[in-house]
Amino acid sequence: MSRARNALLFTTLGPTTSWVLWLDSDVVETPASLIQDLASHDKPLVVPNCFQRYYNKEKEAMDVRPYDFNSWIDSPTAKGLADKMGPDEILLEGYAEMATYRSLMAYMADASGDSRREIGLDGVGGTALLVKADVHRDGAMFPAFPFYHLIETEGFAKMAARLGWHATGLPNYFVYHYNE
């Protein structure tokens, strides 16, 4: 996925490009004003919360659940795990045997909360992500190799931060992923 994102980026980023929207093809629902809404925050990297609509058998009704768990705030535990890893090892989110205790934006959602609420993030998901083109021009890309024990979008957020660009999450602004 990293190589595909980078190939798209390097072949399409022009000198007059202001923003790059990364939107997975299986995102099935967004506000019509998605680009304008995200750009209005004027942040180098901004990511909405990605959820999924599904039929909840217990409630016998349609419901929503978090989908993208790659938007997070780092934890001392995750940093400690990374410190003990070899140079080619990666730290992934969501495995019990490697619990990171990161604060996941997916669990910070408040459906009735302010959709413009912003939080700082250390990792970002890529289901929907708006990036100022200058972040990419400065050298931030999606590592297909371990970058501080992270890869792909999470590694991208780390790389951008190392270059002085910081990620912003919108925990109460929702896009929806296809329910596999």
Q: Does the reported pTM lie above 0.75?
A: yes
DSSP 8-state assignment for residue 120 = E
pLDDT for 94: 81
Q: Residue 105's closest CA among 83, 129, 81, 79?
A: 129
Kind plus residue range of the DSSP H or E element containing 54: strand 45-56
Amino acid at 101: Y
Q: Residue 21's closest CA among 155, 96, 158, 128?
A: 128
Superfamily holding 2-177:
Spore Coat Polysaccharide Biosynthesis Protein SpsA; Chain A (3.90.550.10)
Distance between CA atoms of 133 and 129, rounded to whole angstroms?
Answer: 12
- What are the residue ranges spanned by the domains of the chain? 2-177
Q: Residue 47's closest CA among 79, 66, 65, 72?
A: 72
Distance between CA atoms of 1 and 8, rounded to whole angstroms?
Answer: 11
pLDDT for 40: 98
> CB under 8 Å to 15, separation ≥6 — which residues?
none
pLDDT for 77: 96
pLDDT in tens, 67-124: 999 999 999 999 999 999 999 999 998 888 889 999 999 999 999 999 999 999 999 9
pLDDT in tens, 26-49: 999 999 999 999 999 999 999 999
Cβ–Cβ under 8 Å, residues 123 and 158: yes
pLDDT for 97: 85
More confident residue, 59 or 95: 59
